[in-house]
Amino acid sequence: MRQCGREPSAGPATSQQRHYKSLAFLCISFHLIFASFLSLQALQSSFNEDLGFISLAVLYSFFMVSCLFAPFIIRVVGPKYVISVCYFCHCVYIASNYYPSYYTLLPGSMVLGCASAPLWAAASVYLVSLAKKVAQIRQKEAAKSISIFVGVFFLCFFLAAPVGNAVASAVLLPVTGGLLALEGSSGNASNASVCMALNSSQEERDWPFYFLMSIYLLFDVSALVMSLFGLESLSENTNSRRTCRNIVKQFKASLSCVGKMLFNWRFLLLAPICWYSGIHIAIFAGLFAKVHIYIHVCMHTICTICCYIQTSHLRGLEWWELGNLCVYTAY
Predicted confidence (pLDDT) per residue in 63-80, tens digit:
988 888 888 888 888 899
Q: Which pLDDT score is estimated for 46?
A: 79
Q: Which pLDDT score is estimated for 37?
A: 94
Residue 181 — pLDDT band, cuts 50, 70, 90?
A: very low
Is position 292 within any domain?
yes
Is position 2 within any domain?
no
| Least confident piece of the model among 9-18, 83-92, 238-247 | 238-247
The CATH number of the domain holding residue 160 is 1.20.1250
Q: Higher-confidence residue: 143 or 325?
A: 143
What mean pLDDT do residues 36-45 have?
88
Is position 6 within any domain?
no
Q: Which pLDDT score is estimated for 173?
A: 75
Q: Report whether pLDDT(43) > 60.
A: yes
Q: Report whether pLDDT(113) > 70.
A: yes
Predicted confidence (pLDDT) per residue in 184-230, tens digit:
444 444 444 455 555 544 455 578 888 999 999 999 999 999 999 99
> What is the spatial distance between Cα 127 and Cα 115, in angstroms, rounded to a whole number?
18
Q: Which pLDDT score is estimated for 138?
A: 84
Listed in sequence order, the residues at least 6 apart from 320 whose beta carbon sits closer than 8 Å to its beta carbon are 146, 147, 150, 151
Is position 324 within any domain?
yes
Q: Which pLDDT score is estimated for 307?
A: 58
| Least confident piece of the model among 41-45, 85-89, 156-160, 175-179 | 175-179
Predicted confidence (pLDDT) per residue in 120-136, tens digit:
999 999 999 999 999 88
Q: Report whether pLDDT(247) > 70.
A: no
Q: Report whether pLDDT(260) > 90.
A: no
Split into its structural domains, the chain has a count of: 1
Is position 4 within any domain?
no
Predicted confidence (pLDDT) per residue in 262-313, tens digit:
777 777 787 787 777 667 666 665 555 554 444 444 444 445 555 555 555 4
Q: Alpha helices, DSSP H only, in the chain?
A: 2-48, 50-66, 70-77, 79-96, 105-138, 142-158, 160-183, 191-199, 202-229, 244-262, 265-293, 299-312, 316-330
> What is the spatial distance between Cα 100 and Cα 108, in angstroms, rounded to a whole number?
10
Q: Which pLDDT score is estimated for 287?
A: 57
Residue 90 — pLDDT band, cuts 50, 70, 90?
A: very high
Q: Which pLDDT score is estimated for 298?
A: 46
Listed in sequence order, the residues at least 6 apart from 119 whose beta carbon sits closer than 8 Å to its beta carbon are 82, 83, 86, 87
Number of alpha carbons in the 13 Å side-chain half-sphere of residue 101: 3
> What is the spatial distance between Cα 70 and Cα 75, in angstroms, rounded to a whole number?
9
Q: Could you tell me the residue range of the domain that residue 267 belongs to?
A: 16-232+243-330
Is position 81 within any domain?
yes
| For the chain, percent of residues with pLDDT exceeding 70 | 63
Is position 8 within any domain?
no
Residue 140 — pLDDT band, cuts 50, 70, 90?
A: confident
> What is the spatial distance between Cα 324 and Cα 279, in angstroms, rounded to a whole number?
21
Q: Which pLDDT score is estimated for 7?
A: 41
Listed in sequence order, the residues at least 6 apart from 288 whose beta carbon sits closer than 8 Å to its beta carbon are 42, 161, 162, 165, 305, 306, 309
Q: Which pLDDT score is estimated for 229?
A: 93
Is position 290 within any domain?
yes
Q: Report whether pLDDT(17) > 80.
A: yes
Residue 110 — pLDDT band, cuts 50, 70, 90?
A: very high
